[in-house]
Every structure is written in C-alpha cells, then in structure tokens.
Structure 1
Amino acid sequence: MIGTPYRGRLAPSPTGLLHLGHARTFLIAAERAGGGTLILRNDDLDTQRSRPEFAQAMLEDLAWLGIRWTEGPQPDGTEPGNFGPYAQSLRGSLYTAAFQQLSEAGFLYPCICSRKDLLSAPHAPHAEDEDEPLYPGTCRERNPESDEPSAWRFRVTDGEEVSFYDALLGPQTFIAGRDFGDFVVMRRDGVPSYQLACVADDAVMQITEVVRGRDLLRSTARQILLLRALGHSIPAYAHVELMRNERGERLAKRDAARSLRYLRESGLTPQEVRKMAIEEIE
C-alpha cells in the first residue's frame, strides 16, 4: 500500500463505558492517522450486550478527550463518509457476501462443538487468553445432519506461518495449528464472528493501518488468512501495549472507576486524562 493515502479506524464496541485503556489505543490511533483519514466504526455485533446509551457515550467521551474523526457517526447525530452505515449491526449483507465467497471457495466447514466442549478439551487456553480456544479439529471431517445447528469454521493449514511487521512491537510470527486453530467465522445463530466482520469492513473501508490492543495479535494472524482468501490487500498493523490495574490485570469495562465518563464527571480535564492514558508507555 505504498503511496496510498492513510486510512485508519477506531472500532469500539458499545458494550460498556470506554476506559483508560481504550483512550490509550485511540489516542495512538489518532496520532498515527496524522493528516490522513480516521474512521469511527460502531462494532455493535454483540446484540446481547450492546446498548444505544453506550454508543452515544463513546462518541461523547472520545470527542471530549479531543479525538477527531472524519468519517462515521458524530456526537451531533450526523454520519459523514462514503462507506456507511458505520454500525456493524446494519452491515449484514456485506458479511453474508464474504461468508458465501469463502464457502464457495472451500475454506469453511460446519461445526457443532460448543464452547464448553472446547474449554474442557486438552490444550484449552487459560482464562487470560484473548479469544477462542485452540480448536482440535473435531468436526473437520464430520458429515453433519442437515438439521443440526452449526457454526462455520475457517480451515487453517497446520504448520503455516503467518508473519507481519508490527509498527509498535516489531516482527510477529504465528503458526497455524499451534498458536491458533480453525476459527469461527459464522456463529450457529447466524451472527458473523469478529474476525469475519472486521476483515470485511476493513477491506471495504479501504483501511491502510489497523491500530488496536496487543491482545488481538493472534486475531491479526487469523484475519490475514481471511484477507488472503478473499483476495484483499493486507493493511499495516500497530498493536498497543495494554493498560493494567494495580494487580497486573488488564483494564476491562467493568472497571468503572477508570472509565472516561467517571474521570470526566470527577472533574479531570481532557489533558489530565490524556496524560494518564499515555504516560506509562512514553
């Protein structure tokens, strides 16, 4: 993508209030966008936890923090840009088309395994791991009954190296079948996975660099495989160090005392909060 105008994105999920860790990532994303285009996308596919009030709060809190984006929903209700709608819950046809393309090309297979099944299997990840368990391939060669509810998995090539250069963390290499296995692209309830939706949106929105937390490094390896399978260009990547609490645990949306809304209502200025978000990594 050398010579291509910069297009970055912020992609928060409205499942709670944004916290200092989000502020760190989004401030770095905005800084890296520089004079290029910065998009805000509402990643609201988690219909059980996403709330309209959290979506509005994230717009208001990011704007209060001093972050400006040029495409996507604005706090005043407008939505400039040519790639809308910018809420994933309204972009289902795009994900269906990507799913069908992968299916017709033979990359997918149905899987009836539950998350409970996978967590009880050998080599299941620790609770601290960022995503789905390493899949043991149980359903790879299974012939499912037509009436069985199934998720759909992307079949990886065991032993394949997926390498990329991270602008913040340096060279990264992951091995399919060791660091991650066959992964879900469509849940059994018909909701596309984070991996599929993210890839489809980033490709259509012409994102040139993805900036997000380092807990998503393995997701990046998976998404590179999806991008290749769909015939899309691979963006650049920059993964930000996570912010942790005094116990060494990464911040979560349940940490209300560190939410931007709480800090804002406590009387802190945007400048003070920006300093809190970035001072530990300078």
Structure 2
Amino acid sequence: MTGKPYRGRLAPSPTGLLHLGHARTFLIAAKRAAAGTLILRNDDLDTQRSRSEFVQAMLEDIAWLGIHWAEGPQPDGTETGSFGPYAQSRRGSLYTAAFHQLRRTGFLYPCVCSRKDLLAAPHAPHAEDEDEPIYPGTCRERNPQSDEIATWRFRVTDGEEIRFHDALLGPQTFVAGHDFGDFVVMRRDGVPSYQLACVVDDAAMQITEVVRGRDLLRSTARQILLLRALGHPIPAYAHVELMRNEHGERLAKRDAARSLRHLRESGLAPEEVRKMAFTNIP
C-alpha cells in the first residue's frame, strides 16, 4: 500500500437483506477509507439467489446508515466511477481471461467429482467458514489440457504457509493442504468462483485494503495464491469480528428482525443502528 492512494470497498451480495453484522463491517470499512476512496461493488454472481429488489435495498440501506461511496451503483440507478461495471454479473469477460491465464500457466486442473463425491470425502468444511471441504485430490492427475466439461481447481502446494498481517486480528498463517485444499476457480457451468471473481475485481479496481468479516480469513489465504499466480499486487487486509445472536450464532440474512430494513421501518434512527452495530446482542 506504500505510496498508493487508499482504495477500499464494500462488496455485498444481493441474496437477502443486509443485517447489523453487515453494518458493523461496512462502517469500519468506511471509516478506514475516510481519507481515500470507497467503492461499492455488487457481488451478484449467485444468479439463483440474487434479486434486483435486494440490490436496491442494500444501496438504500447503506446510504441510510450514513455511508457514502465515491464509485459504484447509486440508489438513484446511476453508476459512478471509471472502473465499472460494478456488478459482477457484467464482468464475465474479465473472469474468463483470468481463468485462461491460470490454465495456460499450469495452475489449474479439471475435476469431475460430483457433489456427492465431495460430501463423502473424509474432510468436512470448517464450521466458522462459508467454506468448501478440503479436496482429497482425486482428480489431481487429470489432463490439464482436457476439453471435458469439468470444474476447474487451483492446485495448492501442500505444506506451503501463507502468511499475512491482518490490520485488526494480527499475524495470520494458513497451511495449504491442511487449512484448505485445491479450491474451485471455475464451476462446470462456466460461473467463476467467489475466489476468482473477488481477486480479479479487487485487482482491476485497484483496491489497496480489503475489509470484510473474519469468516473469510481462509478465503484470503486462497486469494493471495491467486493474486500471486496472476501477477497482481496483494492488498492489505482487515477482518472484522462477526456479530452473533443471543445463541452465539453469527447473524445471517435469515435473521429478518435484525435486518437494516426492519430496523429502519421500526422507526430507529441511523445513529441508533450505528450504535447497535457495535453493541453485543444480549
């Protein structure tokens, strides 16, 4: 980040209404970007769950919180900034180009394992992550030049340590093959994975610091590997502690009573919700 103007981003997915946990992360991101530029990106790759009404709701709710962004879609339907389009559903050519670069340079291999095969593998997802299981390596020796319909995985170097300093959580170390395995880059239906799309967009939009929830720490380790493989600079990272409900479970979009839209409609003022976002739920 040395010598570069600060560029941070908010990257919500329009698969439901934003909640207090999102508010906490976005407020921290906005504060860290106060002396630089804040970008809002619509991470709408999940075509089955993304909805236009959720896009509009997230734009309105973030603005209502008092967060102002310089680039990205605006609540009035316009888009500002010179790094657009700011919706991932409109950036497919960039992901395809990165995929072909990774394939051409030998980082990927095709995987024909079914979901059933993966669920039967001895490794399970980490409980704290919206994560994929550690892949057992079944298809590692498949021909990387194959044109078969397959999922494409990034081959990690087992035992490699990926280290980074998190601005909020301190030093982090993850071991490839232990904390995560060969991960999906492109699905068999041609849809890029979160890891690939996020890396391509953060690099293209010149993001200097990524602020997001701590549940994505392992994703950061994967994304550092992708950034290196693609030849992109690695941004700084700051992972925010998750907000949990009274049962100790992290908030989810299904917690409608704690959605920003519900809190708005119940008559709370933005400053009250901002305070709630930094208060533990009793």
Q: TM-score range by the shorter chain?
A: over 0.9
**Distance verdict in 2 for CA 1:110–1:58, change over 3 Å:** same
CA distance in 1 between partners of 2:52 and 2:67 (Å)? 20
CA distance in 2 between partners of 1:135 and 1:109 (Å)? 13
Alignment-derived partner of residue 24 in structure 2:
24
Please identify, of 272-281 and 5-14, the stretch whose mean Cα deviation from structure 2 is larger.
272-281
Alignment-derived partner of residue 134 in structure 2:
134
Q: By how many angstroms is 1:119 displaced? A: 2.0
CA distance in 1 between partners of 2:141 and 2:46 (Å)? 30
Alignment-derived partner of residue 244 in structure 2:
244
Alignment-derived partner of residue 199 in structure 1:
199
Q: By how many angstroms is 1:128 displaced? A: 4.5
Alignment-derived partner of residue 94 in structure 2:
94
Alignment-derived partner of residue 169 in structure 1:
169
CA distance in 1 between partners of 2:79 and 2:121 (Å)? 45
Superposition RMSD in Å = 1.5
Is the aligned partner of 1:50 residue 2:61?
Answer: no
Q: By how many angstroms is 1:280 displaced? A: 3.7
Alignment of 1:59-78 (within 5 A): 59-78=59-78
Please identify, of 74-83 and 219-228, the stretch whose mean Cα deviation from structure 2 is larger.
74-83
Alignment-derived partner of residue 9 in structure 2:
9
CA distance in 2 between partners of 1:225 and 1:144 (Å)? 19
Q: By how many angstroms is 1:35 displaced? A: 1.7
Is the aligned partner of 1:81 residue 2:81?
Answer: yes
Alignment-derived partner of residue 211 in structure 2:
211
Alignment-derived partner of residue 153 in structure 1:
153
Aligned residues: 281
CA distance in 2 between partners of 1:145 and 1:170 (Å)? 41
Alignment-derived partner of residue 113 in structure 2:
113
Equivalent residue letter for 1:15: T
Q: Tell whether the 8 Å contact from 1:118 to 1:124 is kept in structure 2 after alignment.
A: no
CA distance in 2 between partners of 1:278 and 1:237 (Å)? 20
Unaligned 5+ residue runs, structure 2? none
CA distance in 1 between partners of 2:146 and 2:92 (Å)? 24
Is the aligned partner of 1:232 residue 2:235?
Answer: no
Q: Under a length normalisation based on structure 1, what TM-score does the superposition of the two structures give?
A: 0.97
CA distance in 2 between partners of 1:278 and 1:110 (Å)? 44
Equivalent residue letter for 2:108: L
Q: Tell whether the 8 Å contact from 2:70 to 2:81 is kept in structure 1 after alignment.
A: yes
CA distance in 2 between partners of 1:164 and 1:145 (Å)? 33
Unaligned 5+ residue runs, structure 1? none
Alignment-derived partner of residue 277 in structure 2:
277
